[in-house]
Structure 1
Amino acid sequence: MSQLAQYIAAKRQQKPILSMTHVVYGYPTVKDSLEWMATLLEAGADFIEVQFPFSDPVADGPTIVAACHGALHGQNLTVEQCLKDIGQLGRDFPESRIALMSYLNPMYRYGLEKLVKRCAEENILGLILPDLPYEQANELRGYCDANGIDPVWLVTPVTPKDRLAFLASEARGFLYCVARSGVTGNSKHNGEKQQSLDEYLAEIGAHSNAPIGVGFGIRERAHVDALKGKADVAIIGSALLDAYNKGGKVEGLKLFNALFAE
């Protein structure tokens, strides 16, 4: 079991589901983003998924795209400084973990081998590159194997069943499961969506020995509660950023507590 999977397993002994929050590094400024990450960790976030911004974040919705563009505007952000900053954050909050998310272009320019070595040095144990397919990641996987880092693969409800089974079987730290169809609802239609998500997660669980994280579309406490017993980590991104944009750390923290307070 990898270090990241061990962390999740140990934490899951204490909680029915863990929390992962998504923050864009440098938005609206580097200082603001680091203060926001620290606020979330102080509030008890189990993970921070830190996104190093890229100009064409193809896997993200409009809220996060706008944040990436805002972070890049007028700031000279570097991967190296990002790694140093979030590494220090991890040292300040040793009971939590940080995963780095970005896209292949800026990470490739930085250097994949260097990236993975620096992640290991900064205790950043998970690396999420949604535009890098497994089949084209041989080089990265080799570096990760050598340095104890987990590349995190993504699956969606429309991932072909044989590929879903393969990626689930290859997952180590955790498997990132996109749940675009939503997780709750009172109408018959929404009930059908919920059943579909349950079946999707059950199928993943049949093939994966790694923990399961679920993101995309989590906006309410009921969404988080619906994942208990079916997933290990609930991931909140756009909804948290929407709240932060509305009222800064106060509104963002209010939403985080509403979702995850025990």
Structure 2
Amino acid sequence: MSQLANYIAQKRQQKPILSMTHVVYGYPTVQESLSWMTRLLEEGVDFIEVQFPFSDPVADGPSIVEACHVALEQDLDVDSFLNDMGKLSRDFPDSRIVLMSYLNPMYRYGLQKLAKRAAEINILGLILPDLPIEASANYIAACKENQVDPIWLVTPVTPKARLEMLASQASGFLYCVARSGVTGHSSHEAKSKQTAMDEYLAHIKAHASAPMGVGFGLRERSHIEALLGKADIAILGSALLDAYNQGGQEAGIKLIKDLFQN
């Protein structure tokens, strides 16, 4: 079991499901994004997924796309981003930060360099949604060497054989996209869709030894409750950003408490 998977297993002994919150680095400013991350960790979220912005974030819906574009109006660079994440990791040694971006900026930085630097700053997981596992041999080797988990994604439309392959090779945790399409709007309301979701997650669970995180479209407490016993992590992205945009940090924290507190 990897360090990240072990952390999840230990935390799951205390909670029925863990929380992972998504933040875009540099939105609306670097300092404000770091303040927001600090607040989230102070409030006790189990993970933050920090996105280094990219101009064409193809898996993301309108809210996160807009946040990326605003962030990129500043002069951002990966080295500074990693330095800031290192300080955050040192300040909150009992929490976990997962880094997310798209392949282009991380490829330019260097994937082997990225894995090494992540390990140095106690970042145990990396998410690159547009990097296919078939083209990742060197990246996987670098992650393994540095004890950092590459986090793979599956979706409801991933072909069965590929889904089973990705599930079987997952480490750290497997990111299970709750629906087809981009982040943002929910499609959890219909009973038939919930049944399909349950079957989808059960199929993944039959082939995955790693923990399972579920994201895309989670907006209500009922969505979180529907994952109990079926997943280990519930991931809040667009819903949290929308709350933050409407009412700042207080509105974001209220949403997290409404969704996760007993």
| Corresponding residue of 1:219 | 219
- For the residues of structure 2 that align with 1:258 and 1:97, how far apart are their CA atoms? 22
- For the residues of structure 1 that align with 2:112 and 2:175, how far apart are their CA atoms? 23
CA contact (8 A) 1:36 1:249 kept: yes
Whether 2:233 is the aligned partner of 1:239: answer no
| Corresponding residue of 1:168 | 167
Q: Report the residue type matching 1:259 in the other structure.
A: L
Alignment of 1:52-201 (within 5 A): 52-73=52-73, 75-180=74-179, 184-185=188-189, 190-201=190-201
CA contact (8 A) 1:18 1:234 kept: yes
Whether 2:2 is the aligned partner of 1:5: answer no
Deviation digits for residues 54-88 of structure 1 (CA, Å, limit 9, x no counterpart): 11111111100000000001x11111111111111
- For the residues of structure 1 that align with 2:211 and 2:81, how far apart are their CA atoms? 26
CA contact (8 A) 1:3 1:173 kept: yes
SS of 2:68 mapped into structure 1: helix
User: So what's the TM-score if we normalise by structure 2?
Assistant: 0.96
Moved over 3 A (4+): 181-184
How big is the shift at 1:93? Answer: 1.2
CA contact (8 A) 1:99 1:124 kept: yes
Q: Report the residue type matching 2:4 in the other structure.
A: L
User: So what's the TM-score if we normalise by structure 1?
Assistant: 0.96
| Corresponding residue of 2:259 | 259
- For the residues of structure 2 that align with 1:41 and 1:260, how far apart are their CA atoms? 14
Aligned pairs, how many? 257
Greater CA deviation, 81-90 or 148-157? 81-90
Q: Report the residue type matching 1:124 in the other structure.
A: I
- For the residues of structure 2 that align with 1:165 and 1:144, how far apart are their CA atoms? 21
How big is the shift at 1:256? Answer: 1.0
How big is the shift at 1:16? Answer: 0.2
How big is the shift at 1:180? Answer: 1.7
- For the residues of structure 2 that align with 1:8 and 1:183, how far apart are their CA atoms? 27
Q: Report the residue type matching 2:36 in the other structure.
A: W
User: What is the aligned-residue identity percentage?
Assistant: 69
Q: Report the residue type matching 1:261 in the other structure.
A: Q
- For the residues of structure 2 that align with 1:89 and 1:224, how far apart are their CA atoms? 27
CA contact (8 A) 1:165 1:207 kept: yes
- For the residues of structure 2 that align with 1:80 and 1:198, how far apart are their CA atoms? 41
Q: Report the residue type matching 2:145 in the other structure.
A: A
